[in-house]
Amino acid sequence: MLKTDQKPKATTPPPEPNAPSGSSDNKILKKIATQADNPQPMSPTPSPSSSKPLVTILVAFLLVAAGTATGLGVSKVISIGTSAPVTKTAQQASQEGVAVGDIIGLPDKSTFKDSAQGVLVKGGTGGEGSHHLLREGGADQNVYLTSSVLDLDQLVGHKVEVWGETFAAQTAGWLMDVGRTEVLELNAQPPFVEKQ
């Protein structure tokens, strides 16, 4: 049975946000209530120390990519204008034929101290040389050639540059033992017509 003189237990309402509070619990509740009333979008702000490595890596990647692209572009432009000379052995040249820019013989021209260029024709003079170069200035400018390492017959009719060693001659004005040739022009026009 219920007694009428007993009063029901009163519950305490939560403190109002603006009411002064003395406990830390009330401060936390006040802060939560304020945030609930005024929601603000949260935007993460990267700390300066965490974005620096990312920017550095990105800049380094872009620099490497730009350098690579520039190098490839320059190499393409150069390769269009000039083709690298191909060094062939005498045997390869006789099997494959010759083309402008081909180097036949030793690849290092610094091995030889003498060089000359002209249109190569068959024949020597006075038993000296198996071939000779026709050069500007007439017959007295011819260079008579011999070679123990190259087959000069495959270069007849072409303008070539030859490297070798000059030998003393009895009848030839200039006698050279050839160790390296480079094809400059195929089926070249001789600079003059030789007398037979």
Positive or negative torsion for Cα 56, 62, 64, 70: negative
C-alpha angle 47-50-55 in degrees, rounded to nearest 5: 115
The DSSP code sequence of 106-154 is: -S-GGG-SEEEEEEEEE--BTTB-SEEEE-TT-GGG-EEEE-SS--GGG
Q: Are 185 and 134 in contact (CB under 8 A)?
A: no
Q: How confident is the model at residue 175 (pLDDT cuts 50, 70, 90)?
A: very high
Q: How confident is the model at residue 97 (pLDDT cuts 50, 70, 90)?
A: confident
Query: Does residue 139 surpass a pLDDT of 50?
Result: yes
Ranking 8-12, 106-110, 138-142, 143-147 by mean pLDDT, the lowest is: 8-12
Report the mean per-residue pLDDT for the chain.
78
Query: Does residue 84 surpass a pLDDT of 60?
Result: no
- Which percentage of the chain shows pLDDT scores above 90? 37
Domains and CATH numbers, the chain: 87-185 (2.40.50)
pLDDT at residue number 81: 46
Q: What mean pLDDT do residues 115-138 have?
A: 94
pLDDT at residue number 47: 54
Q: Is the backbone of residue 13 left (phi > 0), alpha (psi -120 to 50) or beta?
A: beta
The DSSP code sequence of 47-70 is: -HHHHHHHHHHHHHHHHHHHHHHH
Q: How confident is the model at residue 132 (pLDDT cuts 50, 70, 90)?
A: very high
- For the chain, the first-to-last Cα distance in angstroms comes to 154
Query: Does residue 35 surpass a pLDDT of 80?
Result: no
Q: How confident is the model at residue 39 (pLDDT cuts 50, 70, 90)?
A: low
Q: How confident is the model at residue 163 (pLDDT cuts 50, 70, 90)?
A: very high
Rounded Cα–Cα distance for residues 43 and 76 (Å): 49
pLDDT at residue number 184: 95
